[in-house]
Each structure stands twice: as structure tokens, then as C-alpha cells.
Amino acid sequence: MHKMKSDIEALSSSILTYAMERLRMDPPTIDHPLPQATLEELAGQTITDKGLGGEEALKLFIETLAPACISEDHPRYLAFVPTAPSEVSTLFDLVVGASNICASSWLEGAGAIYAENQALRWISDIAGLPAEAGGVFVSGGTAGNLSALVAARHDWRQAHPEYKSQRGLIISSRGAHASVEQAAQVMDADLVESGDHQLTGDDVAATIAALSPQDRARLFAVACTAGTTNLGIIDDMQGIGDICVKENLWFHVDGAYGGAALAAPSTRALFDGIERADSFIVDPHKWLFAPFDCCALIYADPAKARKAHRQHGDYLEVYYDGTWNPSDYAHHLSRRARGLPFWFSLAVHGTAAYADAVEATLDCAREAAAMIEAHPNLEMVTEQRLSICVFRRIGWAPEDYKQWSEALLERGDGLVTPTKHEGETVLRFCIVNPRTNHDDIKLILDTL
């Protein structure tokens, strides 16, 4: 390690040179994965007794390992939910790593936490959450949904101590992200799916009415979705909010993907009712131009989350002084200041630029839908929603879609993967990169 210190200046220069070259790539090479056997042949043993040395290890990454990873910020990466971090957020991620901040408590990371809370405040404001709302940045939607529902169950058990040993029960839609079901499994709670692709207040009311008295007593939360991952559907948050108030249930909103569209004036009204949520998540690393890994978890009443998540121990007593400690608001203790790159980008560009960037992606998705509808071989499968287009290639079987997708990636033209809709294999665009434009969409559609 001491020998390494003598070479740190030269290595720093090499790393920064590579980082800047990667940032300047417009677009970056999309690259593609390699089989395990191929990587073993090309890379060999990367960790040895004496070490490779900094320059050699960096060369191995640049020449062999990095090209075996897909560039999700490529403007023609339209699969899953991509990421498109701003240049300044990526640069500031280097600063966060170099600063080695532990952002678990105000004692250790006051400045970083203050900045993160400013970013959380902006999200709370565009969602219309109350002035006292707040929370924490966690790794992703799975961690956010789990932590929110743990807080919900704790709040229920506090109000109903007679059910402390009972398995809880959650209602969600059939279109909910898999992480909601995963959270229920981790919590040893039961999950009841309601409605169809979109969850409505009437669906929730009917589901509750069909529960036995014993199951109704176990019900503590409704988890709805503000922009489903596959189709971009926004649940009926007004109606669901009404039912949650009437039935005294925790109202959780998973906006991991779609919640970013709160920033766009053209789509803000679609989210009416979200201001009534007890908890809400959105992933800035998806559609708010932050690098991985960054999910904003926000509570309307953070005190309820603090009661559920605060960890206790003799060595933690210094924490319990009334200050804002991010470790109190999710299932974690140690944490990096993962919200800082997002905060820095917001601070640099301003919130109006964020609204413009989200609007640009929405416009591109609308244009893509029109191009698909005009294409002789294609047809839309569902209505274009948010930044998602789901469509079919007329006459194709599942294997045709697979072969086409693999060939597109192999040529370096982009990545569009098949998905399923009601059992049918179809194609799906998810556009979150402001650099994606008409020419990118045309290039892909011309191959169909």
C-alpha cells in the first residue's frame, strides 16, 4: 500500500484522463456483455499476491472489462429503464468518492446531509407533500419500497399493539414493481393484488370489502404505482387516497421510474393525489439525470419512519440528540452521501433545466409513438404513456424479437429488448435520455 502511494499522482492523472475521455464521448460506444469463459481468457486472474500495479489494473479495466459492460447512457439504449446522468453529476460522483463522507448522521456529514435534504425538499415540493416531509436517499427502489413499508407496518402495530405478532397485509396492483412483492416476502407479510394494470380507488374498496374480518384487521398499507415500469401506467391516486383516509391505511406511492415526470408541466396533473401519500419514492438515477445508485425515499411524517428505523446501541447514543440523522429513515446505518451528485446537478443547472429535460424526453416518446404508428410493419400495443412506447412487429414470433434485439446490440446500434404484455412478446422503448432524438428512433425503426 505504501509503494502504491508513491505512484498515486501518475495514477490519478491516468484515471482522470480516462474519466474525462469517457465524459466527452458523444455518444459513448454502447458495447456488449461477454461470456464468462471469454472474460476468463481475456482478463485472466485480476487479483494476485503482488498486485498488478495501478496502471496495469486501469489498462485491464479500460481495454477488457469496461467494453464488456453496456453503456446505459447511450441515447439508443431504450431497454428496461435506462440512466442518463448529467456530466456535472458524474463529475461530482468522483468528488463524493474522494471525500469519503459517512452520511449516516448529522455529526459525521452535516454539510452533505444539508445538501441532500435540499434535493429531497425539491422533490417533496413538486409532489405537493407537506412542509415537514423529508427522508433519505437509499440505493434504489427495492430498498425504498421495503423501508417505506416497514415504517407503515410499524405505525400500524403502534396503533394496534394487539396485532404485534400478526402477519401484516398489503394491497397493491397487478402492475406493481416486483420489489413490492419482494418487500412483502422479506417482511413476512401477505400481499393481495387488486385491479388490473391500473389500480383504482374502486378496486381497493372492492378488495377490502371482500376480505374476511381477520384479514381486514391485518391490512396496514396500499402500495400504488406512479408510472409502472413496463407500461408507464399511473394508478388512481386520488381515489386510492380517499380510500386510505377512510380506512385509516398507509398510502405508499412507488414512483421509482415515473415520479420524475412530476417535474414536467405537461404531465404534472396526471399525478394528482400524490400529495396525500404517507411515503413516496423516486429514483433520480432513472429519469432525473443522476448516476447510480440513488433513490429518494420521502415521508409525509418523518417521525413515524424514525420510530420504525432508528437503531439503538451504546455507541450510537451520540446520535439521539434531536438532529437529522439519515440512518433513522430507512433500513440501513452506514451510508454514502449518494444524493450529493443529484444535488450538485440541481444546484448547477437549476430546476427549470430539469423540467425542460424531462419535457424533451416526453416529446421524444410522443414522436416515437407517431413514427411507430406510421410504420408499415409496426403497430402500438398500448397507449403511449409517460416516456414508454409498447409496440409489436407484425408477423413476428418471440424468437424473431430476440434475434433482432441481439443483432441490434451486436452492431452497436442500440439496445431494445422484448417484453411481455398479456402473454404476448412485444417491443418497448423507454426514453429517459434528453440526447435521444428523432434520428435515433428512426435508425432503430428502419431495422424493423
Query: Do residue 265 and residue 304 come from a single domain?
Result: yes
Q: What does the pLDDT read at residue 316?
A: 85
Over residues 97-107, mean pLDDT? 96
Query: Do residue 325 and residue 196 come from a single domain?
Result: yes
- Which tens digit of pLDDT belongs to each residue from 126-155? 999 999 999 999 999 999 999 999 999 999
In a domain? residue 78: no
- Beta bridge partners of residue 295, listed in sequence order: 138
Instruction: Say yes or no to pLDDT of 268 above 60.
Output: yes
In a domain? residue 77: no
24 is in which domain, residue-wise?
Answer: 2-30+33-69
Convert 247-277 to b/e letters by CB count within 10 Å (16 or more is b): eebbbbbbbbbbbbbbbbeebbebbebbbbb
Instruction: Say yes or no to pLDDT of 320 above 80.
Output: no
Q: At 378, which CATH number?
A: 3.90.1150.170
Query: Do residue 198 and residue 51 come from a single domain?
Result: no
Instruction: Say yes or no to pLDDT of 116 above 90.
Output: yes
Convert 379-406 to b/e letters by CB count within 10 Å (16 or more is b): ebbbebbbbbbbbbbeebeeeebeebbe
Report the domain count for the chain.
3
Q: What does the pLDDT read at residue 181?
A: 98
Over residues 388-417, mean pLDDT? 98
Least confident segment among 77-81, 315-319, 416-420? 315-319
Q: What does the pLDDT read at residue 4?
A: 60
Instruction: Say yes or no to pLDDT of 289 above 70.
Output: yes
Q: Which residues, 6 or more positions from 147, have their beta carbon under 8 angstroms from its beta carbon?
A: 138, 297, 305, 309, 329, 330, 331, 332
232: left (phi over 0), alpha (psi -120 to 50) or beta: left
| Eight-state DSSP code of residue 135 | E
pTM of the model: 0.97
CA distance 341 to 86: 9
In a domain? residue 88: no
- Which tens digit of pLDDT belongs to each residue from 183-225? 999 999 999 999 988 999 999 999 999 999 999 999 999 999 9
The residue whose grid cell reads 428496461 is 80
Query: Do residue 363 and residue 215 come from a single domain?
Result: no
Q: Which comes out higher in pLDDT, residue 3 or 208?
A: 208
Q: What does the pLDDT read at residue 5?
A: 66
Query: Do residue 254 and residue 336 come from a single domain?
Result: yes
